[in-house]
């Protein structure tokens, strides 16, 4: 019998992840391992001219690559190129006195048509939220959009609200609500410039996004992302919002880079629909971007936001928050069922941001009623799960990608959560062990650049998952 001829044979000190074994060689044929073991055993898989042989002997450890199940490198690496990324510990005072003036200066120097920023922390700003008037005093002739560190809230100047048709320049209110979001109003009855959830995404969609994030800039961003990922040990990541800038720049750039042989990791791209959009029209668009799929570019995910975040009071939970309020639910269950059914039928999987246990329950219902099990529809982040949902998730092959990185808190944040969240919810979040116990498939993600400055590499995240502490802060495990 003739031996299999491998496409690739690798020698070295190889960690297999199976029973903590170290081996000397492995062989790959058609993308599958055909041999793992000692060096002499691998030799019979080699045929001159057909097999690529790479020898890492004496050059360190060879190990399987890690995947990041959900992250926003496109935003985190891309935004500083045209906007401002700030430290999440900055105060509202420093924000107004230093950060925004510098952002405006940068925009004027580069001829930018929007001022874009990212990274302030809601818990620090909450009781002293800067207003649109304060932002106008720094810049009123270029629309300004400054997202918080989670990307779920934003501060905008008046022009951004005028361009979005929410108000006129003289203060007449044109729109009081955006579905799935909240426009904050001041005592004078006009918007304060503080936007929550989908009120933010809606306003942002009116920025000059093609100018902000062009195909060329997307390519430059991808090169930098690639350097970062490969240095951290990732060989794939799923971008949680491939059309963040409401265009196809990131899809196009990835496709062109892969075809040119310049993409050396696997990139998953999601197409996000907002609850204020026309569903059918945007499902069509999610199908159109399939033309950008290539060997290393996977485009087959539809992304939704079901709710906000539990930690900041916009997650959709049961029972209610201690002050009696409820979070924000962006979609009705029958809409999610409809989108899941349509997407799965066309070969697209669902990737849904769900934080609160009630949001998770609603989406599990939709996946059970509208989804195909083999599509591995996925719940993303998942702060909490109702006990009765674990088994349904396991039975219907519903996946979770979980923020293991969030298994820590500083003592003050922890006290804050205990005070505001019902029952034990302030202490109990991101229930990794329960997934394992119930047989739910789960992957890890960093959600980069959320929690600006947190470890992003697999080992830093594993450390947090195990110790329940993060080196940057003082907090009990």
* Shortest CB 450 distance to Zn ion, Å: 6
DSSP string, 338-394: HHHHHHHHTT-EEEEEE-SHHHHHHHHHHHHHH--GGG--EEEE-S---TTHHHHHH
Selected range binding Zn ion among 19-27, 222-230, 234-242, 386-394, rule: CB under 5 A: 234-242
* Shortest CB 248 distance to Zn ion, Å: 20
Q: Dig out the tokens for 398 from the structure.
A: 């519903």
Total residues binding Zn ion (CB under 5 A): 2
240 binds Zn ion (CB under 5 A): yes
Nearer to Zn ion, 447 or 456 (CB): 447
* Shortest CB 83 distance to Zn ion, Å: 18
272 binds Zn ion (CB under 5 A): no
Selected range binding Zn ion among 26-34, 183-191, 233-241, 367-375, rule: CB under 5 A: 233-241
The residue assigned the tokens 């083999």 is 374
Residues numbered 174 to 203 that lie near Zn ion (CB under 5 A) are none
Selected range binding Zn ion among 218-226, 238-246, 354-362, 403-411, rule: CB under 5 A: 238-246
Nearer to Zn ion, 12 or 449 (CB): 449
Nearer to Zn ion, 143 or 151 (CB): 151
- Judged by phi (left if over 0) then psi (alpha if -120 to 50, else beta), residue 76 lies in alpha
Q: In what order do the strands lie in the sheet with 442-444?
A: 66-71, 234-239, 266-272, 297-305, 349-354, 378-381, 399-402, 442-444
Rounded distance between C-alpha atoms, residue 217 and residue 224, angstroms = 11
Q: Say how far residue 6 (Cα) sits from the centre of its chain.
A: 37
* Shortest CB 349 distance to Zn ion, Å: 16
In this chain, which residue has its C-beta nearest to Zn ion? 240
Site string (4-33) toward Zn ion, x via CB under 5 A? ------------------------------
Nearer to Zn ion, 192 or 275 (CB): 275
DSSP 237: E
Selected range binding Zn ion among 235-243, 304-312, 415-423, 435-443, rule: CB under 5 A: 235-243
Site string (415-454) toward Zn ion, x via CB under 5 A? --------------------------------x-------
DSSP 464: H
Nearer to Zn ion, 240 or 356 (CB): 240
The residue assigned the tokens 């820590």 is 408
Site string (368-397) toward Zn ion, x via CB under 5 A? ------------------------------
* Shortest CB 240 distance to Zn ion, Å: 4
* Shortest CB 112 distance to Zn ion, Å: 25
Q: What is the 3-state secondary structure (H, E, C) of 10-76?
A: EEEEEECCCCCCEEEEEEEECCEEEEEECHHHHHHHCCCCCCEEEECCCCCEECCCEEEEEECHHHH
* Shortest CB 183 distance to Zn ion, Å: 23
Could you tell me which of 173, 404, 453, 467 has the C-alpha nearest to residue 477? Answer: 467
Backbone Cα Rg of the chain: 24
Rounded distance between C-alpha atoms, residue 75 and residue 245, angstroms = 9
Residue 451: which residues within 8 A CB-CB, separation 6 or more?
88, 149, 150, 405, 406
Determine contact, residues 97/63, Cβ cutoff 8 Å: no
* Shortest CB 266 distance to Zn ion, Å: 18
Interface positions with Zn ion (CB under 5 A): 240, 447
């Amino acid at each position: 019998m003739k031996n299999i001829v491998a496409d690739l044979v690798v020698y070295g000190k190889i960690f297999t992840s199976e029973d903590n074994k170290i081996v000397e060689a492995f062989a790959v044929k058609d993308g599958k391992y055909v041999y793992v073991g000692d060096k002499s055993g691998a030799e019979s898989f080699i045929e001159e001219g057909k097999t690529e042989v790479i020898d890492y002997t004496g050059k360190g450890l060879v190990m399987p690559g890690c995947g990041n199940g959900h992250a926003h490198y496109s935003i985190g690496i891309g935004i500083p190129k045209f906007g401002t990324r700030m430290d999440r510990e900055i105060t509202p005072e420093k924000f107004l006195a230093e950060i925004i003036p510098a952002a405006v200066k940068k925009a004027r120097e580069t001829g930018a048509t929007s001022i874009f920023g990212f990274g302030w922390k809601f818990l620090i700003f909450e009781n002293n939220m800067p207003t649109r008037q304060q932002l106008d005093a720094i810049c009123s002739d270029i629309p300004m959009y400054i997202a918080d560190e989670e990307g779920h809230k934003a501060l905008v100047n008046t022009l951004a609200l005028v361009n979005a048709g929410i108000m006129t320049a003289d203060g007449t209110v044109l729109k009081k609500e955006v579905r799935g979001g909240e426009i904050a109003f001041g005592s004078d009855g006009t918007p304060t410039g503080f936007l929550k959830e989908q009120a933010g995404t809606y306003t942002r969609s009116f920025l000059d996004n093609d100018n902000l994030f062009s195909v060329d800039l997307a390519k430059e961003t991808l090169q930098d992302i690639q350097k970062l990922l490969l240095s951290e040990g990732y060989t794939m990541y799923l971008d949680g919002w491939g059309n963040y800038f409401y265009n196809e720049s990131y899809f196009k750039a990835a496709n062109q880079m892969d075809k040119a042989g310049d993409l050396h990791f696997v990139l998953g791209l999601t197409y996000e629909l907002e609850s204020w959009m026309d569903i059918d029209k945007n499902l069509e668009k999610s199908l159109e971007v399939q033309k950008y799929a290539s060997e290393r570019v996977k485009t087959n995910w539809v992304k939704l936001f079901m709710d906000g975040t539990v930690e900041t009071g916009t997650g959709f939970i049961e029972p209610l928050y201690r002050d009696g309020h409820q979070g924000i639910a962006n979609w009705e269950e029958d809409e999610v069922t409809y989108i899941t059914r349509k997407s799965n039928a066309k070969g697209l999987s669902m990737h849904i941001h769900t934080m609160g246990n009630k949001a998770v329950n609603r989406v599990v219902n939709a996946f059970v009623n509208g989804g195909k099990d083999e599509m591995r529809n996925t719940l993303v982040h998942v702060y909490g799960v109702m006990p009765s949902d674990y088994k349904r998730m396991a039975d219907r092959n519903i996946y979770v990608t979980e923020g293991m990185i969030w298994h820590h808190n500083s003592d003050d944040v922890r006290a804050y959560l205990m005070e505001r969240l019902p029952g034990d919810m302030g202490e109990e979040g991101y229930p990794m062990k329960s997934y394992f116990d119930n047989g739910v498939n789960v992957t890890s993600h960093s959600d980069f650049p959320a929690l600006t400055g947190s470890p992003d590499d697999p080992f830093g995240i594993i450390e947090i998952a195990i110790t329940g502490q993060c080196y940057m802060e003082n907090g009990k495990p």
